[in-house]
Amino acid sequence: MDEEKIREAARLFLEGIGEDPLREGLMDTPGRIVRMCHELFAGYGSDASEHLATRFEAPAGGGVVIERGIRFYSVCEHHLLPFFGQAAVAYLPEGEVVGLSKIARTVEVYARRLQLQERMTAQIADALAGSLSARGVLVVTEAEHLCMSMRGVSKPGSTTLSFAARGEFEADGALRAEAFRLLGL
């Protein structure tokens, strides 16, 4: 990240809205924004395949693996406002499983970038499908977008649901429906 460009952009923004970037409460704001950017956009420096590289032998006769309630925070690329919610992942292992924390880390890699929810959902599904020996992957995200809640249409509490299916979850509607049922959707 170019920290000096971020600091300058923050100073210009403050001036642009009519603030004095040198007043007491704002003097350190450009530096705080730099630190915030390192946190919010850490996904640009991460590769999901690194998290998914360590796998374990799947138990014989194992079925669908589901992890849900994975909280995420992201930033809408259209308005630079946060959206946040939960992701759920289901996959059908083929010989190998991945540690559950690695699934959550994969969600985090893509959430910590400027995003569209639909793209983020697809990126998570593609990363899992590409890195795991899985017969199928299903990713569901549900999020509240502050660009809808606090501005524009102003509908707080409304959420957006998106999903991406790969492999058997894409090809088999009954399997996908069963996974949705298990996810409570």
Domains defined for the chain, CATH in brackets: 3-40 (no CATH), 48-182 (3.30.1130.10)
- Annotated active-site residue in 4, 8, 50, 77: 77
Reply yes or no on whether 77 is catalytic. Answer: yes
pLDDT at 61: 73
Reply yes or no on whether 38 is catalytic. Answer: no
Per-residue pLDDT in tens (0 to 9) along the chain, 185 residues: 999 999 999 999 999 999 999 999 999 999 999 999 999 999 999 999 999 998 888 887 778 999 999 999 999 999 999 999 999 999 999 888 999 999 999 999 999 999 999 999 999 999 999 998 899 999 999 999 999 888 888 888 999 999 999 999 999 999 999 999 999 88
Reply yes or no on whether 78 is catalytic. Answer: yes
Q: How many helices (H) and strands (E) does the chain have?
A: 8, 7
Q: Model's pTM, two decimal places?
A: 0.93
Report residue 174 CA to chain centroid gap: 27
- What is the rounded CA–CA span in Å between residue 134 and residue 121? 17
Distances (CA, A) of 61 to 64, 86, 93, 133: 10, 29, 10, 15
- Annotated active-site residue in 3, 147, 170, 178: 147
Residues 112 and 41 sit within 8 Å (Cβ to Cβ) = yes
- Quick count: other Cβ atoms within 10 Å of Cβ 102? 20
Q: Mind giving me the DSSP string for 118-153? A: HHHHHHHHHHHHHHS-EEEEEEEEEEEEHHHHSSTT
- What is the rounded CA–CA span in Å between residue 31 and residue 9? 11
Reply yes or no on whether 76 is catalytic. Answer: yes
Reply yes or no on whether 144 is catalytic. Answer: no
Reply yes or no on whether 94 is catalytic. Answer: no
pLDDT at 153: 86
DSSP state of 58: P
- Annotated active-site residue in 8, 78, 96, 118: 78
Q: Strand 114-115 to strand 65-76: parallel, antiparallel, or no bridges (unpaired)?
A: parallel
pLDDT at 6: 97
- Annotated active-site residue in 115, 117, 123, 168: 117
